[in-house]
Structure 1
Amino acid sequence: MPKDVSRRRPHTRAAVLKAALEVFAEHGFHAASIEQICERAGFTRGAYYSNFASKEALFLALFDEHSERIVRRLAESIDALPAEEHTPAGIARLASRVEPEERDWYLVSTEFTLHAIRDPQAAWVLARHDARLRAEIARGIELVLHRAGRELTVDADRFARMIVALREGGLAQSYVEPSALPPGTLERDFLAPLLESCTRPTGGTGQPPPQADQPPA
């Protein structure tokens, strides 16, 4: 592959991903066409297909990009949380933050989830992407709880599923009735008591636990 093509590829891929998120959010995953995405990105179909084999592959790339951003923000928020905020209420406030751009991703991911419910192969693939993100969420929850001197009394993956359900269910209602239920309200109101009921004091020092070996990429 020529060097100039190799250098351009990350830029092309990033531009297509950005355009795809916008077009998917505006028109829907199924209604959006490759032509609309290429036009928005300013590239040809050839440039598109040199990076993505299908719209489904494009969505999964968006999913991974969004997951990486969520995990990075979670890690940064946990590190920045003051010691006095290492409480269930403080953790709930951290978890209740919703960025303005989250609405577009919610529209796109919800429609693809419905597609996956109807399509077993898409469901199989999406479940594995979900599992990787959920593992990072569970790891973050366990870390911040350790700093709070608490530990889960339930399975970490199950608890992460509950957090995701609370988040996604809350956003569905908030985007329909933003004045009655601003985004993040349910997490702020109910996550602290949920943490209280599903955790116990460890009697530890609150220092971070030793880092486990990272799973292979």
Structure 2
Amino acid sequence: MSREESQAQTRERLIDTAQQLFVANGYGGASIRDIANKAGYSQGAFYSNFASKEDVLLELLRRHMTAEATHLSRVMSGDGDDSEQIFAELDAWASTLNHDADWCMLSIELQLHANRSQTFAVEYQKVWDRHRSDLGQVIGQLFHKLGRIPPAEPAELAAAFMALSHGLALQRMSTRPDPSGSLIMAFLRGLIANAEREKAG
């Protein structure tokens, strides 16, 4: 294994371990020493990859949001504009939304820590804004493919759906089965059905 491969493996193990401990013990209950020890490394190995626990939190957030935006962009990148096919693919994505209990717990930790730490909140907002922009592009493409005019700026609609998803995640522990995906799709279908049609030409 090359030095670069070994370092990448160390980084991934630290990220995975940090996620497990954040979920199990909360952000405040997981120390850098705990993360390093459980992953099988020294604290020096942690600091050679991350400046702080907050950096790990932000990396977890970026990965989750990037994967979501990439998947939805792939759905919209197809040449077809058949509404049934598009909705079938979106329904398939929505059916898995918030089913990862670990991510639901972690998303709560992220929001709580952003409320407590001003420096983290600034970086958190940057990642959030990027995701809102990416999802806004997807929503804009969706309405255009279906020949409809969005009832609000696509980025604003994206922010509303993100808030709905995270709000439902906060209720995840008391709701079985999880309704997040079906509710988001119900709202989306309603917005599209009531949206004005684009003018021909």
Band the TM-score falls in, shorter-chain normalisation: 0.7 to 0.9
Code of the aligned partner of 1:202: E
How do 1:176-195 and structure 2 match up within 5 A? Answer: 176-179=174-177, 181-195=178-192
* TM-score w.r.t. length of structure 2: 0.85
Structure 1 unaligned segments of length 5 or more: list them. 206-217
Does residue 10 in structure 1 map to residue 8 in structure 2?
Answer: yes
Does residue 141 in structure 1 map to residue 139 in structure 2?
Answer: yes
How do 1:15-164 and structure 2 match up within 5 A? Answer: 15-79=13-77, 83-85=82-84, 93=91, 96-99=94-97, 102-164=100-162
Partner Cα separation in structure 2 for residue 142 and residue 63 of structure 1:
23
Q: Mean alpha-carbon deviation: is it higher for 101-110 or for 18-27?
A: 101-110
Structure 2 unaligned segments of length 5 or more: list them. none
Code of the aligned partner of 1:185: S
Equivalenced residues, count: 200
Per-residue Cα deviation, 1:56-102 (whole angstroms, up to 9, x for no partner) = 01111111111221122212333468723267x65863563325763
8 Å CA contact 1:86–1:145 kept in 2: the answer is no
| CA pair 109-36 structure 1, distance change in 2 beyond 3 A | same
8 Å CA contact 2:98–2:104 kept in 1: the answer is no
Code of the aligned partner of 2:191: L
Code of the aligned partner of 1:192: R
What is the percentage of aligned positions where both structures have the same residue?
Answer: 26
Name the structure 2 match of 1:211: none
| CA pair 143-204 structure 1, distance change in 2 beyond 3 A | farther
Partner Cα separation in structure 2 for residue 122 and residue 143 of structure 1:
32
Code of the aligned partner of 2:39: A
Q: Mean alpha-carbon deviation: is it higher for 99-108 or for 33-42?
A: 99-108
Name the structure 2 match of 1:209: none
| CA pair 168-102 structure 1, distance change in 2 beyond 3 A | same
| CA pair 182-155 structure 1, distance change in 2 beyond 3 A | closer
8 Å CA contact 1:86–1:144 kept in 2: the answer is no
8 Å CA contact 2:23–2:106 kept in 1: the answer is yes
SS in 1 for 2:152: coil
Instruction: Extract structure 1 runs of 4+ deviating beyond 4 A.
Output: 79-82, 89-92
Code of the aligned partner of 2:148: R
| CA pair 95-204 structure 1, distance change in 2 beyond 3 A | farther
Partner Cα separation in structure 1 for residue 193 and residue 118 of structure 2:
37
- Report the aligned-residue RMSD: 2.7
Code of the aligned partner of 2:6: R
